[in-house]
Amino acid sequence: MADLDGIKVEKNYHLDKPFATGGNFHVKGAANLDWGMKKRLTNIFNPKSGNTVMFAFDHGYFMGSVSGLERLDLLIPQLIDHVDVLMSTRGALRSSVKPGFRKGLALRVSSGSSMLNDDLSHEVVAMDIEDAIRMDADCMAVQCFIGADGQLSSIENLSRVINAGNRYGIPSMGVVAVGKNMERTAQYFKLATRILAELGAHIVKTYYCDDFEEVAAACPVPIVVAGGKKLPEKEALEMAYNSIKGGAAGVDMGRNIFQSYHPAEMADAVGKIVHEKFSAKEALEYYTERTKG
């Protein structure tokens, strides 16, 4: 029997070392992609900061008209100038957003459940690649339920979307879904984010957690951090700051922007952290100054 002495078993995320195969392109893990992929990723990730502020308002795809998103036609025009990317369903975009906006577009392409279901993990790919091309998507987002009942269909959905996107130069974003009873630990997020990246996702969306640095270091493509439920502005800005400090390439924030009393100012404050290296304290001061009175 082989002697186990000397076998390396401890993990080392080399947190002191930057990503080694970046080449001359500003998006992690994308140096070897085609021109069209790089162009679309550049529509998402700012070439100067390397980061993005995505504004997620796709919640209606399973939650209906959540608080703050009752009238997309009124909300979105207020926010377009304050974010880098709109993350939306095709129905919300076509009905309520003018097509001339000059920002990135992350299209949600999976669906299949609603808040009325106990188990949300069974989804399908709900959009043809041709429609993503027609809408000029910069990436396609697929919800993925790793460890849940619907894991197999999630992986099939993501793989189908990645395969179709690769044919036409459209990146894919794997979205780590966390069900009601699923843990939100670094151990789980390291597993889920790495699986999605290795399947070929060009961007991974996940949640912030303790030891997030290890999650980001072990994921070979950019991570954008979901905002989650509404927090006081101070806490939401701290989460954004800690995410960027921990290696995220931006946020994909919804409720912490659109459920704020001052959505545009909140988006701007988040942008200061994401693009201009503001601390959470500086960003909160910026937000407070702009909303007082």
Q: Does 75 bind ligand R5P (CB under 6 A)?
A: no
| Catalytic residue, candidates 8, 205, 245, 292 | 205
* CA nearest to 242, candidates 268, 267, 207: 207
* CA nearest to 108, candidates 254, 219, 241, 221: 254
> Which region, judged by CB under 6 A, interacts with ligand R5P, from 41-49, 115-123, 147-155, 253-261?
253-261
Nearer to ligand R5P, 33 or 280 (CB): 280
Q: Does 92 bind ligand R5P (CB under 6 A)?
A: no
In single-letter form, the type of residue at position 251 comes to V
> Which region, judged by CB under 6 A, interacts with ligand R5P, from 56-64, 122-130, 161-169, 234-242?
56-64
Distance CA 259, CA 272 (A): 19
Q: Does 223 bind ligand R5P (CB under 6 A)?
A: no
Neighbouring C-beta atoms of residue 238, cutoff 10 Å: 19
Q: Does 56 bind ligand R5P (CB under 6 A)?
A: yes
User: CB 255 → ligand R5P: shortest distance, Å?
Assistant: 4
Q: Where are the beta strands (DSSP E) in the chain?
A: 52-56, 85-88, 104-108, 110-111, 124-125, 139-144, 172-176, 203-206, 223-226, 250-253
Q: Does 255 bind ligand R5P (CB under 6 A)?
A: yes
* CA nearest to 126, candidates 155, 90, 150, 93: 90
Would you give the binding string for ligand R5P spanning residues 8-47, x where CB under 6 A is met? ----------------------------------------
* CA nearest to 157, candidates 207, 121, 117, 203: 121
DSSP state letter for 208: -
φ, ψ dihedrals at 63, nearest 5°: -105, -5
Nearer to ligand R5P, 5 or 118 (CB): 118
> Which region, judged by CB under 6 A, interacts with ligand R5P, from 22-30, 233-241, 254-262, 270-278?
254-262
Q: Does 233 bind ligand R5P (CB under 6 A)?
A: no
Q: Which residues contact 293 (CB under 8 A, 6 or more apart)?
A: none
Q: Does 58 bind ligand R5P (CB under 6 A)?
A: yes
Between helices 263-276 and 72-79, what is the axis angle to 10°? 40
245 has catalytic annotation: no
Q: Does 226 bind ligand R5P (CB under 6 A)?
A: yes
Q: Which of 254, 271, 283, 287 binds ligand R5P (CB under 6 A)?
A: 254
Binding footprint of ligand R5P, residue count (CB under 6 A)? 14
Would you give the binding string for ligand R5P spanning residues 167-196, x where CB under 6 A is met? --------x---------------------
Going 270 to 87 to 247 to 28, the CA torsion angle's sign is negative
- Tell me the catalytic residues: 205
Contacts to ligand R5P by CB under 6 A: 56, 58-59, 87, 143, 175, 226-228, 252-256
